[in-house]
Amino acid sequence: MNFTYPKAEKLKSRTTIDLLFKDGKSVSKYPLRLVYKSGALPEGELMKFGVSVSKKYFKKAVDRNYFKRVLRECYRLNKHLLPDTARSGSYAMMFFYQTKERLTYEEINTKTIQLFEKFTQQLNNDTPT
């Protein structure tokens, strides 16, 4: 199993992020939200993943950076739960932490697992057979 988060998987393109907000689909498991878009990446690129923590909830950059690190770590350790179609397809994803509550790493990790399972179900329901 590959538990890495290489530079090639990091979502940094402003146009792709704008496309996610404009046309992306969403899956939520409080307090986490995953926005994704299939086919949003250039030819030959695999999945790209980004994280975001709102300045509205955490005014200090130190707090925002802490939760971004936790979200990236949860993604890195649980990305094997994403279906093969998502890992091998062209998906752009953005992960959001949407609460003022300061959840522990264990709670966030549990919610991440539940969110990825919900995402897998939604992909299976959307995919025509």
| Cβ atoms of residues 17 and 94 within 8 Å | yes
> Does residue 99 surpass a pLDDT of 60?
yes
Q: What average pLDDT does this structure show over 51-71?
A: 96
pLDDT of residue 87: 58
- Using a CB cutoff of 8 Å and minimum separation of 24, what contacts does 105-112 make? 105/70, 105/73, 105/74, 108/32, 108/67, 108/70, 108/71, 108/74, 109/74, 109/77, 109/78, 111/29, 111/30, 111/31, 111/32, 112/32, 112/71, 112/74, 112/75, 112/78
Q: What is the pLDDT of residue 70?
A: 97
pLDDT at 128 over 80: no
pLDDT digits (tens, 9 = 90+) for 11-60: 999 999 999 999 999 999 999 999 999 887 877 777 889 999 999 999 99
Of 114 and 87, more confident: 114
Spatial separation of the C-alpha atoms in residues 58 and 97, rounded to whole Å: 10
Mean pLDDT of the chain: 90
Q: What is the mean predicted confidence (pLDDT) over 64-91?
A: 87
Instruction: Tell me what pLDDT residue 82 has.
Output: 86
pLDDT of residue 114: 96
Q: What CATH number was assigned to the domain covering residues 10-112?
A: 3.30.230.10
Place of tokens 């690129």: 45
Greater confidence, 127 or 112? 112
pLDDT of residue 90: 81
